[in-house]
Amino acid sequence: MMNVMRIGIACDHGGFDLKEELTSFLQTLGHEPIDLGTFNENSVDYPDYGMMLAEQVSKGDLKLGILICGTGIGMSIVANKYKGVRAALVNDLYSARYSREHTDANVLVIGGRIVGKDLAKEIVKTWLESSFLGGRHQRRLEKIASLEEKNFRA
């Protein structure tokens, strides 16, 4: 049984349909999706929405977030600019599991034009059901955090 969580979700126009689907899916899993937009299919700049979500995760206002753009690449780049954000671009179940178990990813990024709705739901479910294993993986995250301290002034 999963704990009920507030989970941020945001997209650009290329991820709008999938965001709508996943927002409803999160509710059926008993979570509270925090929809940060976009709210239609009109063309927008993905960094605006990626920054909004990543900032909230970085500050600790949200523990987890989901970002969706056409390929997921742009959102991944944006989110990983924020201190403490570990955004993983995931388009399969194996990566969904290991992004949590090994890197404790706190932002899931999906390519809305690459991943079908059914697979995306399975990815989200797998991601949420997986947990960080710690151990040797913790040491690696500490190295990443050290790098952030040197390079980010967030």
Amino acid at 83: K
**Residue linked to tokens 């944006």:** 78
* 11, 31, 102, 137: the active-site residue: 102
Q: Which residue among the candidates 11, 13, 31, 69 is catalytic per the annotation?
A: 69
* Cβ-count burial 84-113 (b if 16+ within 10 Å, e if not): ebbbbbbbeeebbbbbbebbbbbbbbbbbe
What separation in angstroms does the CA of 132 have from each of 104, 109, 115?
5, 18, 24
Asked if 72 and 95 count as a contact pair (C-beta separation under 8 A), the reply is no
The verdict on whether 102 is a catalytic residue reads yes
Name every residue whose Cβ is closer than 8 Å to that of residue 40 and which is 6 or more positions away in sequence: 13, 16
69 as an active site residue: the answer is: yes
Question: How far are the Cα atoms of 35, 126, 138, 153 from residue 21, in angstroms, in the given order?
Answer: 12, 16, 33, 36
**Catalytic annotation, residues:** 69, 102
